[in-house]
Every structure is written in C-alpha cells, then in structure tokens.
C-alpha cells in the first residue's frame, strides 16, 4: 500500500506490520470489527451469531451471518496466519450449520440480540433484511445452503489451494486477507481487505458456473416447474396491470397493491400440500383498516375468490397483519396442473381487495 506525496509527486510505501506486534487480538478486535461492520467483507450480511458454542461437541464458531438469499454464512477469523487445518475446521462448521432449522436460526439471533442489547425483534429484523413479507416465506427461504468466509492476515498455500478447489466445485467459499499498516501517526492503524479466493478478476465466471450447477441441483433455486409456474403467474398479473415480482430462488411471488404498506403474496408450500394467498401489511393502522374491510365484506370476497380467508396478527410483532387464504393441492399432481385455477384466484383476490381499499390507505 502506498500514499501520495503531493509535494514531490511521488508514491511513498506505507509501513507494514502484523496484528501480534500491534497487540491486536483475534476475538477482541478482528471479530468485533467484522461483527460491527460486516459490509467490509464485500457484501451485505446480517450477523446473527457470535462465538456460538451450542453444538453437541461445544466447538465455537466465530461469527454466523445471513446473506441476502437467506443462506447461512460461516465466518472464521485468524489473527495473523490461516494455517493448514482451518479449511477442515470451517467445513465442519458448515456441516453442523446445515442441520439448523429456521426456528434454530431465529433462536440463535435472539440470543445475539440479547447479548449485545440490540434493537428490534429477531424475526422482524430478518424479514426486513431479506425484504420479504411473512414468516411462512421466511421458513421456506432460510438455510437453503451454507457459505464460508475465512479472514486472515496470511494464508497457508494449502488453504488457498483447497479453497480454490472447493469454489470450482460448487462450494461457496471466500478467503479474504486483512492486512494492517501503520499510518502517519504511529498510533494510527490502517486496514486493507482483499479477496484472494475466488480471485476478483474471474469471480464472475465462478458465480455463473455455480448458479448453473446450483440451479440444476435444486439447492438454492427452485425446480424448473416451480419457476415456470411463478413466471406464468407474474406474467399474468402484469398483463392485468399489476406490479408483480418473482425470483427463481423463491417459492412465492409478490404483487404490490399500489397502497402504502400493503402487498399480496402467493406462496407454494409443498410440504403442507397447499398454496397460500396473503394480503400483508407491517403498519398497525393499515392493519386495522384492511381487517375492517375484510370483515365488512367477507361474504363478497369469498364469493368472488372461492376462498375462505382468516385474519392473523404477527406472532412476534403484533403490528403486522395478514389476511390469509389456503388452497389445498395434491402433491402427486404436477404444479402446472393448478396454474390456471391458482392464477385466477390470486388475481381475483387482488382485484377484490383493491376495489374495497380507500384512497390514503
């Protein structure tokens, strides 16, 4: 790393150091820097666990995070040298975390919030971070896959070799160097982070390759028939003039109502053998309004949609409100068999409620 001497128009090398010399500790300092500023790792992460040690063998995981796809990210930090063996260590942690259910992840995050006296409710914070509307969707999204980030000053070449091989074979792993430098003032410490694996200049290739592999394996992306189903749903909604959104990793699609804090969601829950159609809000005043609208027009809505709905407040945050309808299905029948019927009921639900919503809601 260099600084510019503007007076002499030249580069001056900044003095390197190491964390041991500067009395920088792994747990006390490096973990804390990342915990407080996870964006320094080059992506948007939500830290949900610190020094987690509730596995059966009591091994301690440095940091646990969620990425914006709902995958668990295992973060391992090393003070100065990431030696041979750290690769196996993080793979062990991945295997442990692969068994975590959504309720386990929420409990881990609740402990983390309590430990550091943070604001907000665990479920609401995760919903906001993932930009989704309901806990049903959350349960379908969390921990579809696990990822690894190793952070250290120097890396054993064997670790980098293993990391490169894992990434080329579909395991999402990053090795990031964190190097300290001494600033102008000897008490000032500068930090430089650089991604080593996968190399930045070829990462786009790796990402494309991984997405193709993952999509074919069904790990993160939904199966082809589910994707086709929701793409048809979104196309149909857009033809009707609605703002509809879908991502192939999800088992649901969303339609914006045009009213503040109100959206419509169609969710496919194969494990429960049904589709869910929801009217959702996170605003307590809007919740009162839409509940009142539904309760005053229940028979008309049921007649139009051929669905029976119920109202439900958020289990963790009562400010949230949902009007929920279910359509049972037979899992032995292909999902595309239900496409026309479910699409029609979803559109009818949207239009039935929007006709009743008042300006200003």
- DSSP per residue, 4-33: EETTTTEEEEPPB--TTTTT--IIIIIHHH
How many Å apart are CA 322 and CA 325, to the nearest integer? 10
Residue 190 has pLDDT above 70, yes or no: yes
Looking at residue 141, what is its pLDDT?
A: 86
- Residue with the bigger pLDDT between 206 and 333: it is 333
pLDDT digits (tens, 9 = 90+) for 17-44: 989 888 999 889 999 999 999 999 988 8
Q: pTM for the whole thing?
A: 0.61
pLDDT digits (tens, 9 = 90+) for 147-184: 999 999 999 999 999 999 999 898 999 999 999 999 87
Strands 72-77 and 309-313: unpaired
Looking at residue 95, what is its pLDDT?
A: 95
- Using left for φ > 0, alpha for ψ between -120 and 50, and beta otherwise, residue 150 falls in beta
pLDDT digits (tens, 9 = 90+) for 103-146: 999 999 999 999 999 988 899 899 888 877 677 778 888 999 99
In the numeric block, the tokens 């054993």 are attached to: 156
Contact 122, 316 (CB under 8 A): yes
Looking at residue 215, what is its pLDDT?
A: 45
Candidates 290, 302, 301, 304; CA nearest to 344 is 304
Residue 217 has pLDDT above 80, yes or no: no
Joined tokens for residue 211: 């997405």
Looking at residue 316, what is its pLDDT?
A: 62
Contact 266, 253 (CB under 8 A): yes
Joined tokens for residue 105: 């992840």
Give mean pLDDT, residues 325-331: 94
Looking at residue 200, what is its pLDDT?
A: 66
Give mean pLDDT, residues 203-223: 51
- Residue with the bigger pLDDT between 188 and 151: it is 151
- Residue with the bigger pLDDT between 216 and 95: it is 95
- Residue with the bigger pLDDT between 247 and 175: it is 175
Residue 318 has pLDDT above 90, yes or no: no
Q: What is the DSSP letter of 219?
A: S
- Count Cβ neighbours within 10 Å for each residue of 191-223 and write b for 16 or more, e otherwise: eeeeebbbeeeeeeebeeebeeebbeeeebbbe
Domains, the chain, in order of start with CATH, read 2-100+143-217 (3.40.1350.10), 224-356 (3.30.1460)
Looking at residue 361, what is its pLDDT?
A: 62
Which residues, including other chains, have CB under 8 Å from residue 336's CB and lie 6 or more apart? 225, 228, 229
Joined tokens for residue 234: 């979104």
Looking at residue 131, what is its pLDDT?
A: 74
Mean pLDDT, all residues of the chain: 88
How many Å apart are CA 215 and CA 290, to the nearest integer? 38
Residue 54 has pLDDT above 80, yes or no: yes
């Amino acid at each position: 790393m260099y600084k510019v001497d503007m007076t002499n128009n030249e580069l001056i090398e900044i003095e390197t150091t190491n964390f041991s010399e500067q009395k920088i500790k792994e747990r006390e300092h490096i973990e804390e820097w990342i915990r407080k500023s996870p964006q320094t790792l080059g992506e948007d992460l939500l830290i949900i666990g610190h020094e987690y040690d509730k596995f059966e063998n009591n091994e301690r995981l440095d940091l646990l995070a969620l990425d914006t796809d709902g995958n668990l990210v295992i973060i391992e930090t090393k003070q100065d040298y990431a030696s041979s063996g750290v690769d196996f260590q993080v793979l062990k942690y991945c295997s442990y975390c692969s068994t975590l259910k959504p309720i386990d992840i929420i409990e881990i995050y609740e402990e983390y919030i309590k430990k550091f006296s943070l604001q907000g409710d665990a479920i609401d914070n995760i919903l906001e971070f993932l930009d989704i509307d309901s806990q049903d969707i959350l349960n379908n999204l969390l921990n579809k896959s696990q990822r690894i980030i190793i952070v250290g000053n120097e890396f054993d070449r064997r670790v980098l070799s293993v990391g490169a091989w894992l990434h080329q074979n579909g395991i999402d792993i990053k090795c990031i160097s964190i190097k300290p430098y001494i600033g102008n003032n000897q008490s000032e410490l500068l930090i430089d982070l650089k991604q080593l694996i996968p190399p930045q200049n070829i990462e786009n290739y790796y990402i494309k390759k991984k997405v193709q592999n993952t999509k074919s394996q069904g790990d993160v992306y939904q199966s082809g028939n589910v994707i086709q189903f929701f793409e048809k749903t979104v196309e149909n909604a857009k033809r009707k003039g609605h703002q509809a959104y879908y991502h192939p990793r999800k088992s649901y699609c969303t339609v914006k109502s045009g009213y503040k804090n109100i959206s419509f969601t169609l969710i496919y829950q194969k494990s429960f053998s049904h589709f869910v159609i929801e009217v959702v809000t996170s605003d307590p005043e809007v919740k009162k309004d839409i509940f009142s609208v539904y309760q005053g027009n229940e028979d008309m809505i049921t007649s139009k949609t051929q669905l029976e709905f119920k109202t439900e407040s958020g289990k963790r945050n009562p400010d949230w409100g949902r009007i929920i309808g279910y359509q049972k299905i037979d899992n032995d029948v292909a999902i595309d068999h239900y496409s026309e019927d479910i699409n029609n009921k979803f559109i009818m639900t949207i239009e039935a409620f929007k006709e009743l919503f008042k300006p200003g809601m």
